[in-house]
Structure 1
């Protein structure tokens, strides 16, 4: 569910609104393209997930910042009590900037530097999710040099097929993430001997946009087995981090993914008797449907074989269709009438790449130059992956709450873009 819907606008036409904000009017004020996020949707999705685990005695929901790192979004979630899952020092600093307590932050990622480790240790984060033996040794070296102790969970790769896109699967043997399941016990025994390391948990995250519970069931069964093995060997495990990955609907005609309550029932069945603190890292499930990308049609260009609808948002603003072959629903901001004809079109951007598209061969209400469109379900892995390719300005981000809005990340000027670079002194 999201809070984007058609309603009577300031122009008296039926216009797509973000909560109570007329998006056509907002586009005229902010300029296009821009991202728009709904506070009500963010809050609802977080609460639905957190409340699914209300019966669990000790649960920490760490929102995955990599999905959407906008400070307005993070502040909204922090106010609800969310912890944060980070994968870089930059993300950790964002979490701290919105007053998330360090002991509610988990640090993931396969390539943590020693500098990042040192900063996180000094801040006193809850735990590191360690992904390899070399990383474990590096963290021991840094922690010991500071006279500190790093609480860790090894990220264990269960070699489970998450049945998702191959670029967002993380739990198979060929993926770069985690340590092999059969090597985990020996690495935990090694961790116990290392200075500055306190093994306390097990981490398992098998991928993103998972719409079938069976991969979770298979992975969590292995996790439960591993906890038993570790405890049998005298290693204390007091938390498990079950990752994220629960999918969301991108197409209005597709089957609904599992509900958080169904996921929670599976978690209870699989690990409910372990007597551990439960950590989760949802990202897309909270932010995905809470955001859209608004763009304006520049030209409609027919040729011998197809029609191109050229818009002012490109792959540098939203790379998911090009990178993941992702489908995003596209809606005109002004609601079409029943008499509006439908045309099959490629919706493409201005970037000089054939792969610059938002939709291919999509049946859409007939569009004309100047029309506005919304690319739906763009709140996760949208703005965070934006770039200045073709020297295009970064897309701004807007947060809406009721009838109010705030440009939480303004569009930079061309002067800002140029001022960020320096010429060598010999030129």
Structure 2
């Protein structure tokens, strides 16, 4: 990632060449701020490693679905990975192409399948026999054949948080490994399906290469069995899930990760197949911060609290996963001028789970700004209006320019679609 994407200049945090203080003053807080340079550099790391290889990259829209973010990737030639027809609509609105979009997800509705077939998506990643039946019926109603890849659950431990581990046999995702060959036979017999690949996604925030290699080995073993049954699989989808550094994690560098997987697949004799990557967090996570203002400093009997204007509705990951995000003052105090204390950084939502960081050493005063780092992935996309709180604005910084890419919601918008009972 660009080292200067979020850096201090004369003691003030900047996003590229724009002061975070100026952003907060102009656009208010809580505020999501993204760096175009950081997004571009992360993409180029994937694209560069894939250059000259049979490989393509599909951005996981669920990580950050802002139109401007998607448009940055679309301009760079990205494909996309979606999990709903709403995400498909976003991809198309952002300039992405349906024919370069993979439709994943465990519970696609018939109307979503229909929309995706009409748009002409690249492939459906199917996760169950009933889904195969539904997709075959929808495709028949349109006189089409749906391109299909089956998501196989390889029962590989990704060694990540249980809520974001998706490749174990106890997870809801994918077709059980032992049942996959039969599922492929079933799919191949359906007249309105065109079986073209195999898919696997074992989890998120994975910081080691080994689980990927274990999953790939199991997939390739299965591919060889499937092809003896008469099918031809033109691609292998290895999913996403590569982790980022939130605190002290040491995930593999993107280019090394991509080349290692591609080399492994080629060494196993499957270099003729295209490989799909579906990164999300590793593209956008460290390309965004959330700015928040300190409302009160509240001493307690056992803890001190820094109460800020951002809450669990703005950034759900700490409350949901006990996730760590680095939190730092936007303006650095000169050494020794402001004594530091240990604070829990908490929000105004009426839940004990409303916290952004625990036991943080901060030298701060009420009214000052804090930056919550690594907030570009699963930040705004998971935000809500709990406690009737308008969602934050989103800003894209491009060099010395700041663009509003989503305006802050107004309270009246939140109940504009509601109605009271008639008199």
Match of 1:233 in 2: 229
Q: Which of 293, 315, 321 is the equivalent residue of 1:324?
A: 321
- For residues 109 and 225 of structure 1, the distance between their equivalents in structure 2, rounded to whole angstroms, comes to 24
Match of 1:309 in 2: 306
- For residues 257 and 293 of structure 1, the distance between their equivalents in structure 2, rounded to whole angstroms, comes to 23
Q: Are 2:3 and 1:6 aligned?
A: no
Q: Are 2:25 and 1:28 aligned?
A: yes
Q: Secondary structure at the match of 2:198?
A: strand
Match of 1:11 in 2: none
Q: Is the 8 A contact 2:262 2:275 kept in 1?
A: no
Give deviations 1:213-247, integer Å, cap 9, x for gaps: 11111000011111111112210100111100111
Match of 1:421 in 2: 418
How far did residue 338 of structure 1 move? 2.1
Structure 1 stretches (4+) deviating beyond 6 angstroms?
none
Structure 1 gap ranges (5+): 9-13
Q: Which of 111, 123, 126 is the equivalent residue of 1:115?
A: 111
How far did residue 268 of structure 1 move? 2.3
Match of 2:377 in 1: 380
How far did residue 255 of structure 1 move? 4.2
TM-score (norm 2): 0.97
Match of 1:206 in 2: 202
Q: Secondary structure at the match of 1:167?
A: helix
Q: How does 1:77-92 map to 2 (within 5 A)?
A: 77-92=73-88
Q: Secondary structure at the match of 1:256?
A: coil
Give deviations 1:309-348, integer Å, cap 9, x for gaps: 0000000000101101100001101023222432111000
How far did residue 418 of structure 1 move? 2.8
Match of 1:346 in 2: 344
Q: Is the 8 A contact 1:60 1:104 kept in 2?
A: no
TM-score (norm 1): 0.96
Match of 2:177 in 1: 181
Give deviations 1:251-303, integer Å, cap 9, x for gaps: 1xx14211122212321233223111111110000000000000000000002
Q: Is the 8 A contact 1:140 1:194 kept in 2?
A: yes
Q: Are 2:388 and 1:394 aligned?
A: no
- For residues 24 and 412 of structure 1, the distance between their equivalents in structure 2, rounded to whole angstroms, comes to 21
How far did residue 195 of structure 1 move? 2.0
Q: Secondary structure at the match of 2:210?
A: helix
- For residues 332 and 46 of structure 2, the distance between their equivalents in structure 1, rounded to whole angstroms, comes to 32
Q: Is the 8 A contact 2:122 2:147 kept in 1?
A: yes
Q: Is the 8 A contact 1:345 1:360 kept in 2?
A: yes
- For residues 227 and 262 of structure 1, the distance between their equivalents in structure 2, rounded to whole angstroms, comes to 25
Q: Secondary structure at the match of 2:168?
A: coil
Q: Are 2:47 and 1:50 aligned?
A: yes
- For residues 396 and 407 of structure 1, the distance between their equivalents in structure 2, rounded to whole angstroms, comes to 8
Q: Which of 59, 69, 75 is the equivalent residue of 1:73?
A: 69
Give deviations 1:99-144, integer Å, cap 9, x for gaps: 2121100000001000000000000100000000000100000001
- For residues 390 and 382 of structure 1, the distance between their equivalents in structure 2, rounded to whole angstroms, comes to 18
Q: Which of 158, 163, 166 is the equivalent residue of 1:167?
A: 163
Q: Secondary structure at the match of 1:363?
A: strand
Q: Secondary structure at the match of 2:396?
A: strand
- For residues 84 and 398 of structure 1, the distance between their equivalents in structure 2, rounded to whole angstroms, comes to 22
- For residues 367 and 417 of structure 2, the distance between their equivalents in structure 1, rounded to whole angstroms, comes to 32
Q: Secondary structure at the match of 1:237?
A: coil
Match of 1:217 in 2: 213
- For residues 142 and 310 of structure 1, the distance between their equivalents in structure 2, rounded to whole angstroms, comes to 51
- For residues 134 and 193 of structure 2, the distance between their equivalents in structure 1, rounded to whole angstroms, comes to 10
- For residues 42 and 97 of structure 1, the distance between their equivalents in structure 2, rounded to whole angstroms, comes to 19
Q: Are 2:358 and 1:356 aligned?
A: no
